[in-house]
Structure 1
Amino acid sequence: MTDAPDPTVFTEEEIEAGRLLFAADCQFFFGSQTIDQLPPAERPEIAFAGRSNVGKSSLINALTGRNRLARASSEPGRTKQLNFFDLGERVTLVDMPGYGFAKAAKAVKEDWQNTMFAYLRGRTTLSRVLLLFDARIELKKSDRDVMDLLDRAAVLFQIVLTKCDSLKPGKLESKRREVAAEIGKHAAAYPHIVLTSSETGMGIDLLRAEIARLAEKPTQTVSLPGKPS
């Protein structure tokens, strides 16, 4: 009996598959401020979540190789809608509003949680939530609250540490261990943490490969005898 493949290890073919996926056209196609406005659920969805100013827009832009695909608001917490992007007609990337913004009223924060919970719990095509944490900042109560929310929604989530270039290797490993211990408490957490930097490109190829595993397979063109492919 052979051992099962390690899901944290990517082959050269998987890294290339991730590169090719994100080399495809990526277009914004829908913005939804309420749950009853969601687009049809047609293909696998990968949602990006995180505190305001965690670097979510920068990460999406780095993954897709486009500088202005996802735009960060100058005022934390200003973006209030779910933004949907079609990537190569194989997977949908969903940019979720940031949470944890200090200036927001309690009612606004509760509305965010209720709206996001309804999306997370009811979206049949949602394959995974990528939950972003800033590697330089300690985990906040709002981070733990969102992990609890994901547990309740029974949605698989994976931690992505951003801005990892700002830490020296020893401090970064200490941070990774700290977060790994935290996610060990959550039933819906995927155990593999991805370390990234939108500035240096650190971990971008691995995250692309991770998403490619969840995307629809590319359409194969079949050549008929006597017909050009």
Structure 2
Amino acid sequence: MTDASGPADDNASYLETGRLLFAKECQFVAGAATLEMLPESGLTEVAFSGRSNVGKSSLINALTNRNTLARTSNTPGRTQQINFFDLGGKLYLVDLPGHGYAKVSKEKIDTWTDLVNNYLRGRAVLRRVLLLVDARHGLKATDREVMDMLDVAAVSYQIILTKVDKSNKSDVKSLTQKIEAELAKRPAAHPEILLTSSMKGIGIEELRAELAALAEEAG
């Protein structure tokens, strides 16, 4: 008897694994404002990084089907510590303070930057950094600084384009190709760029599946 399963079945199974993982309870575990406050964890961690107001909290809420798990705000700089969320005892989702512009003092921004950079460089259980980039604006200098640091530290990162519903498809395609060409020259970059919209639900299933695969690999 031959196996009739094919690519469509494999993809459906892949997406279903992601759906099942993100159907599990997701709870806030800890907020760390200093390195000493980072929680101990044997779980795989995936960190959400990006410029202030790029949509990190909105994406976490969309992935977990919760409106208020991660706080969202139109005020850049709302996330003021590293926030850890336990997803079903399988994966830690880590919401990082935004880099770049924020409506707070330069001293506080410098403190956040040091904290985040030390976390990204030194967290052994960190499996991947999701670097969120607004599809309307593309990569900025602050994004490339983070990418440079992750390349040097050999920490895997993946570009997630956010708010793709607010740009036309041809612009998004052109931006994606441009970023792909840049990523090809970067040693720690994951080659696949995911397109998402928290508001429209675009790419959410695929990203859930991608993160579930990382959790399973570590398990």
Structure 2: distance between partners of 1:165 and 1:132: 15
Please say which of residues 103-112 and 161-170 is displaced more in the overlay: 103-112
1:168 aligns with 2:175: no
Matching of residues 1-229 of structure 1 within 5 Å: 11-101=11-101, 103-216=103-216
**Helix, strand or coil: the match of 1:192?**
coil
Distance 1:109 1:184, change over 3 A: farther
**Helix, strand or coil: the match of 2:30?**
strand
Read off the aligned partner of 1:93 and give its amino acid letter: L
Structure 2: distance between partners of 1:53 and 1:153: 26
Structure 2: distance between partners of 1:155 and 1:80: 23
**Helix, strand or coil: the match of 1:190?**
coil
Distance 1:161 1:145, change over 3 A: same
Structure 1: distance between partners of 2:109 and 2:186: 22
Q: CA deviation at 1:194?
A: 0.3
Higher helix share: 2
Number of aligned residue pairs: 209
Task: Say if 1:47 and 1:94, in contact at 8 Å, map to a contact too.
Answer: yes
Give TM-score, length-normalised by structure 1. Answer: 0.86
Gaps of at least 5 residues in structure 2 are: 1-9
Structure 2: distance between partners of 1:157 and 1:42: 20
Distance 1:145 1:105, change over 3 A: farther
Structure 1: distance between partners of 2:169 and 2:216: 35
Gaps of at least 5 residues in structure 1 are: 1-9, 220-229
Residue in structure 2 matched with residue 225 of structure 1 by the alignment:
none
Please say which of residues 154-163 and 134-143 is displaced more in the overlay: 134-143
Task: Say if 2:99 and 2:142, in contact at 8 Å, map to a contact too.
Answer: yes
Structure 2: distance between partners of 1:28 and 1:211: 18
> Larger Cα Rg: Structure 1 or Structure 2?
1
RMSD: 1.7
Structure 1: distance between partners of 2:40 and 2:180: 35
Question: What CA deviation, in whole Å up to 9, does each residue of 1:29-87 have, x standing for no partner?
Answer: 11100011111121100000010110111111110000111102443124221000000
Please say which of residues 121-130 and 98-107 is displaced more in the overlay: 98-107
